[in-house]
Amino acid sequence: MILSKAFNSSIMDAYRRGMPEKFVKAFLDILVLATLNNGPQCGYEILARIHEKLGVLISPGTLYPMLHVLEEKGIIESRSNNRKKDYVLTRKGLEMFKTSSNDFKTLSNIFLNTMNMSLLEEDE
């Protein structure tokens, strides 16, 4: 039984270490909008901000297609700034950010309340 608990503990530790990356990948669009809510930023600055705040490295190959989709949908727009491209929220993007932010807070509270009700009890 001790070996089983040690094994389960190491699995849980590995799972926990991967949680920030899962979070960032699942909510990358909202995180991009939140980052751009602070003002215009180029792709590299967005990547750096996410890494600084959440400790997760996102590849440019993940971010730039997301930026392209958001731009096609009119949620962000790009502006040339010397040799780089800055991204900014449009009015539609700002509204989407506000709505998504409120929805995310609501879902987070529901999730945390569920966890606090001990629905996921550990085996003893």
Give yes or no for a contact between 67 and 85, defined as CB atoms under 8 angstroms apart.
no
Q: How many domains does the chain have?
A: 1
| Digitized pLDDT (tens) for each residue of the chain, 124 residues in all | 444 455 455 555 655 667 788 888 888 999 999 999 999 999 999 999 999 998 899 999 999 999 999 999 999 999 998 888 999 999 999 999 999 888 888 888 887 777 666 555 555 4
Q: What is the pLDDT of residue 89?
A: 97
- Alpha-carbon distance 117 to 78, whole Å? 45
Q: Residues 20, 78, 60, CA angle at the centre, nearest 5°? A: 35
pLDDT, residue 3, reads: 45
**Beta strand pairing call for 84-89 and 76-81:** antiparallel
Which pLDDT belongs to residue 20?
81
**Residue 70 covered by a domain:** yes
> How far is it, in rounded angstroms, from Cα 52 to Cα 24?
13
- pLDDT value for 12: 56
Per the rule left: phi > 0, alpha: psi between -120 and 50, beta: everything else, 42 is beta
Q: Assess if residue 88 is contained within a domain.
A: yes
Tell me phi and psi for residue 77, to 5 degrees: -135, 155
Output the domain CATH number for residue 81.
Answer: 1.10.10.10
Is residue 35 in a domain?
Answer: yes
- pLDDT at res. 7: 47
Residue that the structure tokens 């180029």 belong to? 42
Residue 12 in any domain: the answer is no
Map tokens 């731009």 to a residue: 71
Boundaries of domain holding 61: 30-116
